[in-house]
């Protein structure tokens, strides 16, 4: 159970839909959820859908308002919800790049706001979400928001919102790095003489399987790497390249730093 009371979900795209599915799977009653989305998305039986705030029943009093719309339309979409600002209601945003101040500018400084940075593996219940709350969010509201995001994966909190840019660089954008790793491994296999279909299959399944092994293991990633590496063997030869001074670690640091800087730029 999410134990988050009634939930108003504003926006039901891929991430909003994944969250909703996770809540239902965890035992949230469909009648505790109301979805606002002008596209009229398909939802599980028992969940009501409206095109705008005016369609929300007057007797529906949300404990959590989840803002799952695109950052570029957030201002116009969220502005009407200022009417719902109340000490008993917390706003939970999953919009990348939108900081607490930007929501206070829309909703007012009396609004309790939690900012969340999930990532796309949430679609299969294997996401990781980092949360930050302003000072108006109560302990119980923090627990409610944590429970809602835990429905699609693990959750962590930060006390300094400035860290959210680095979080975005590591985990928010991180799935793209992993997918590119698959592309790079597949191309390297082709260059080494493998048929394209086989190279792509080997790269995809190796990364997916290694991720699952990491998820199920209690050992550090470094220990798992060492377990695969025989002294003087093929893996050691490859790691001499990847772990060189100008290898993967340095390249990844540069990439994540650039993503972090871009996150700051987008946040204004």
Per-position pLDDT tens, the chain of length 268: 567 789 999 999 999 999 999 999 999 999 999 999 999 999 999 999 999 999 999 999 999 999 999 888 888 999 999 999 999 999 999 988 899 999 999 999 999 999 999 999 999 999 999 999 999 999 999 999 999 999 999 999 999 999 999 999 999 999 999 999 999 999 999 999 999 999 999 999 999 999 999 999 999 999 999 999 999 999 999 999 999 999 999 999 999 999 999 988 887 6
Q: How many CB atoms are closer than 10 A to CB 35?
A: 24
Q: At which residue do the structure tokens 């919009």 appear?
A: 95
CA distance 38 to 21: 19
CA distance 14 to 28: 19
CA distance 220 to 193: 33
pLDDT at 1: 53
**Which token pair is 251?**
């390249």
Domain boundaries, the chain: 7-165, 174-267
Query: Taking a C-beta distance cutoff of 8 angstroms, is the pair 148, 66 a contact?
Result: yes
Query: Taking a C-beta distance cutoff of 8 angstroms, is the pair 34, 62 a contact?
Result: yes
Q: DSSP code of 81?
A: G
The hierarchical CATH code for the domain 174-267 is 1.10.3730.10
End-to-end CA distance of the chain: 37
**Which token pair is 113?**
């706001």
CA distance 63 to 155: 20
Say what the pTM is: 0.92
What is the domain class of 7-165 according to CATH? Answer: alpha beta
Q: What 3-state DSSP class applies to 55?
A: helix
**Which token pair is 54?**
């005016």
Q: DSSP code of 219?
A: S
CA distance 171 to 131: 13
CA distance 67 to 149: 13
**Main-chain phi, psi angles of 49, to 5 degrees:** -130, 140
pLDDT at 255: 97
Looking at the chain, list the stretches that DSSP marks H as alpha helix, in order from N- to C-terminal side. Answer: 14-25, 74-78, 100-107, 139-150, 164-167, 174-191, 196-216, 221-228, 234-242, 248-267
Query: Taking a C-beta distance cutoff of 8 angstroms, is the pair 150, 245 a contact?
Result: no
């Amino acid at each position: 159970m999410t134990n988050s009371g009634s939930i108003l979900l504003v926006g039901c795209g891929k991430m909003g839909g994944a969250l909703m599915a996770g809540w239902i799977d965890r035992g949230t009653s469909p009648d505790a959820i109301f979805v606002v989305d002008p596209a009229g998305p398909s939802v599980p039986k028992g969940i009501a859908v409206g095109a705008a705030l005016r369609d929300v029943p007057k007797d529906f009093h949300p404990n959590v308002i989840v803002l799952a719309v695109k950052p570029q339309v957030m201002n116009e979409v969220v502005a009407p919800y200022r009417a719902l600002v109340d000490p008993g209601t917390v706003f939970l945003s999953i919009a990348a790049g939108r900081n607490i101040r930007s929501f206070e500018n829309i909703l007012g400084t009396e609004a309790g706001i939690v900012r969340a940075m999930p990532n796309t593996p949430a679609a299969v219940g294997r996401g990781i979400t980092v949360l930050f709350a302003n000072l108006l969010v109560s302990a119980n509201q923090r627990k409610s928001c944590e429970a809602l995001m835990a429905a699609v994966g693990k959750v962590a909190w930060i006390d300094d919102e400035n860290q959210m840019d680095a979080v975005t660089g590591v985990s928010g954008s991180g799935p793209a790095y992993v997918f590119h790793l698959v592309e790079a491994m597949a191309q390297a296999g082709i260059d080494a003489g493998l048929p394209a279909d086989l190279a792509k299959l080997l790269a995809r399944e190796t990364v997916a399987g290694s991720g699952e092994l990491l998820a199920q293991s209690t050992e550090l990633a470094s220990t798992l790497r060492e377990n695969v590496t025989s002294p003087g063997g093929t893996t050691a030869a490859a790691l001499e390249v990847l772990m060189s001074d100008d290898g993967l670690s340095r390249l990844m640091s540069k990439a994540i730093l650039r993503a972090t800087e871009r996150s700051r730029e987008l946040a204004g």
